[in-house]
Protein backbone atom coordinates (compact mmCIF):
# COMPACT_ATOMS: atom_id res chain seq x y z
CA UNK A 1 0.00 0.00 0.00
CA UNK A 2 1.38 3.42 -0.96
CA UNK A 3 1.33 6.07 1.71
CA UNK A 4 0.76 9.73 0.83
CA UNK A 5 3.82 11.94 0.46
CA UNK A 6 4.17 13.98 3.65
CA UNK A 7 6.62 16.65 4.74
CA UNK A 8 6.22 18.45 8.06
CA UNK A 9 7.45 21.86 9.15
CA UNK A 10 8.04 21.54 12.88
CA UNK A 11 9.78 23.36 15.69
CA UNK A 12 11.48 22.01 18.76
CA UNK A 13 9.83 23.19 21.96
CA UNK A 14 11.66 24.11 25.13
CA UNK A 15 12.06 20.41 25.96
CA UNK A 16 13.39 19.71 22.46
CA UNK A 17 10.39 17.72 21.23
CA UNK A 18 9.24 18.26 17.66
CA UNK A 19 5.82 19.90 17.24
CA UNK A 20 4.17 20.32 13.81
CA UNK A 21 3.39 23.87 12.62
CA UNK A 22 2.49 23.09 8.98
CA UNK A 23 2.67 20.14 6.63
CA UNK A 24 2.51 19.36 2.95
CA UNK A 25 0.41 16.37 2.00
CA UNK A 26 0.63 15.21 -1.62
CA UNK A 27 1.75 18.69 -2.71
CA UNK A 28 -0.90 20.59 -0.72
CA UNK A 29 0.44 22.92 2.02
CA UNK A 30 -1.67 23.01 5.19
CA UNK A 31 -1.19 25.13 8.30
CA UNK A 32 -1.68 23.57 11.72
CA UNK A 33 -4.36 25.73 13.33
CA UNK A 34 -4.35 23.81 16.61
CA UNK A 35 -2.69 20.83 18.22
CA UNK A 36 -5.81 19.17 19.65
CA UNK A 37 -4.07 16.32 21.45
CA UNK A 38 -0.64 14.76 21.82
CA UNK A 39 0.59 11.53 23.30
CA UNK A 40 3.83 9.63 23.44
CA UNK A 41 5.20 6.11 23.29
CA UNK A 42 8.80 4.98 23.73
CA UNK A 43 9.48 5.28 20.00
CA UNK A 44 6.93 7.81 18.68
CA UNK A 45 5.27 11.15 19.38
CA UNK A 46 1.67 11.48 18.15
CA UNK A 47 -0.17 14.71 17.35
CA UNK A 48 -3.87 15.14 16.53
CA UNK A 49 -4.02 18.45 14.71
CA UNK A 50 -6.73 20.65 13.25
CA UNK A 51 -5.50 21.93 9.88
CA UNK A 52 -6.34 24.91 7.67
CA UNK A 53 -8.49 22.72 5.37
CA UNK A 54 -10.96 22.10 8.24
CA UNK A 55 -9.92 18.49 8.75
CA UNK A 56 -8.18 16.73 11.61
CA UNK A 57 -5.07 14.64 11.10
CA UNK A 58 -3.01 12.36 13.31
CA UNK A 59 0.69 12.80 12.61
CA UNK A 60 3.34 10.55 14.10
CA UNK A 61 7.00 11.43 14.61
CA UNK A 62 9.34 8.43 14.70
CA UNK A 63 11.98 9.23 17.32
CA UNK A 64 14.41 6.57 16.10
CA UNK A 65 14.15 7.32 12.37
CA UNK A 66 13.60 11.09 12.82
CA UNK A 67 10.74 11.11 10.28
CA UNK A 68 7.03 11.95 10.12
CA UNK A 69 4.11 9.74 9.07
CA UNK A 70 0.42 10.35 8.48
CA UNK A 71 -1.54 7.95 10.68
CA UNK A 72 -5.11 9.15 10.09
CA UNK A 73 -7.16 11.83 8.36
CA UNK A 74 -10.55 12.74 9.83
CA UNK A 75 -13.21 15.08 8.58
CA UNK A 76 -13.39 18.05 10.95
CA UNK A 77 -16.55 19.01 12.75
CA UNK A 78 -15.82 22.74 12.53
CA UNK A 79 -16.28 24.82 9.40
CA UNK A 80 -13.41 27.02 8.25
78: β partners: none
User: Distance between CA 69 and CA 77 in Å, rounded?
Assistant: 23
50: β partners: 34, 56
DSSP 3: P
User: Distance between CA 56 and CA 51 in Å, rounded?
Assistant: 6
**Model confidence at 80, in pLDDT bands (50, 70, 90)?**
very low
**Model confidence at 18, in pLDDT bands (50, 70, 90)?**
confident
**Model confidence at 78, in pLDDT bands (50, 70, 90)?**
low
The pLDDT tens digits of the residues spanning 29-75 come to 999 999 999 999 999 999 999 999 999 999 999 999 999 999 999 87
φ/ψ (deg, to 5) at 23: -155, 155
Mean pLDDT of 16-41: 93
Query: Model's pTM, two decimal places?
Result: 0.83
Amino acid sequence: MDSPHLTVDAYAGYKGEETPRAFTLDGRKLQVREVVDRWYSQTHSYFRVYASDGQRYVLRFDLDENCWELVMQERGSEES
